[in-house]
Amino acid sequence: MSPPLTGIIVAMQEELEVILQSLDKQRSVQRAGMEFHLGLYAERPVVAVICGVGKVNAALCTQLLISEFNIQRLINLGVAGGLGAEIKPGDIVIADSLVQHDMDLSPLGLAKGQLFRMDVFDFKTDPILRKHALQASAQITHHDHFVGRIVTGDQFIASPNQAHALHQDFSALACEMESASIAQVCYLNQIPFICIRSISDNANTGAHMDFEQFTPIAVANASTLLQNMIPLCDSVPTQASIKA
């Protein structure tokens, strides 16, 4: 039996390029203005794509991966802003849960972040994928790695007040603009999912890297993580086994 197909969503062109360098590419497919690259990565079948910025782009891309390409698990790599005081630029945050911080139905009596008539507050990542991501990140010895909640919103968080509020309200370690919507689509489709983010700045502490300094770090981290993680994923439950 061949390994199941893994979807890989990245945030930056630079991260996709480093994946394509190691991808035994078979073909590319255009859907909804996105280019999906299919082939073998570490001898396992994958489809890699840039989803674009924001929750709508990310959700659309995720559903296409599931409906059009029949992926059996999904890995999301990208950049995030740090929220925890101990998190520094270059560090890695592996999500254990994700929340949409800009969802606010509090006038209806719902907690901030709670989706209307959704049976969960946060979306948990797959524990086995999370374990493998942690194993893979251990190979990156020049930066620290953390496991915790990541929050998502269609906002670029730049002020210390905003960052502090997100950390306090959601106990979040990082914030960005895509992954909770990816997690929601995976939850609804019962697809195992993991989110791994490289930290570019921390609005709480004022620590940051400029883009030219940070990009090579994010790219190198993404490459190391994938090269070490993809072979470990052979033991991850697939959609079919979850539904059985």
Residues annotated as catalytic are 15, 201
Helix (H, G, I), strand (E, B) or coil at 213: helix
Residue with tokens 């949409």: 100
* Residues 6+ positions from 216 with CB-CB distance below 8 Å: none
Residues forming beta bridges with residue 84, ordered by sequence position: none
8 Å CB contact between 152 and 175: yes
> 3-state DSSP call for residue 91?
coil
Contact 87, 149 (CB under 8 A): no
Are residues 82 and 137 in contact, defined by beta-carbon separation less than 8 angstroms?
Answer: no
Cα separation, 61 vs 35, whole angstroms: 10
Per the CB < 8 A criterion, the answer to whether 44 and 234 are in contact is yes
Residue 184: φ, ψ to 5°: -65, -45
Rounded to whole angstroms, how far apart are CA atoms 152 and 42? Answer: 30
Rounded to 10 degrees, the C-alpha dihedral 213/215/221/222 comes to 180
